[in-house]
Amino acid sequence: STLAPVAGDAVESAVHKLEEPLSDHVRMLHAVRAALQKRHDRRLTYTTALGTVTARQSGLNKMRGGASSQPSNAGAQMRAYDAELSLRRAQEAAEAARRDYEDVSKRVLREVDRFKAEQASNLRATLAEFCRAMAEYHARMG
């Protein structure tokens, strides 16, 4: 029968019209997932840096508390100075991590919003084209 090859070609054409845009959509989803993971990693870095600041501040506070009950000596003063420097470096690292996290977050969230708008429109157009192709096929067959 001559209908079988025609039907096969029409279905194959309709599937092809659906397959490529859906593959693009899946690729974009993977890119968004990678961007969100990058944002998550930056947040973890920032959280870790804050934990370091807290630990260094606590250590410095203990050192200062213990120093008030003991006579001051050069070694204790040097350790306190080193602890203050260490705290300051940790605070600077935490601030840099915060800025980095905020920058990445703004960029990722902006891209996610753009992706949602574009992909919703593209997906609707793809499905509409597929439905049109299938309706055309059924009209020819019916």
Q: Return the domain boundaries, the chain.
A: 3-141
- Predicted TM-score (pTM) of the model is 0.70
User: Number of H helices and number of E strands within the chain?
Assistant: 2, 0
pLDDT computed for residue 139 by the predictor: 84
Q: Which residue is listed with tokens 């944002």? A: 39
Q: What is the pLDDT of residue 36?
A: 94
Could you read off the pLDDT of 85-120 as tens digits, one per residue? 999 999 999 999 999 999 999 999 998 898 888 888
74-141 and 3-69 are packed helices; what angle lies between their axes, rounded to 10 degrees? Answer: 170
Percent of the chain with pLDDT over 90: 42
pLDDT at 1 over 50: no
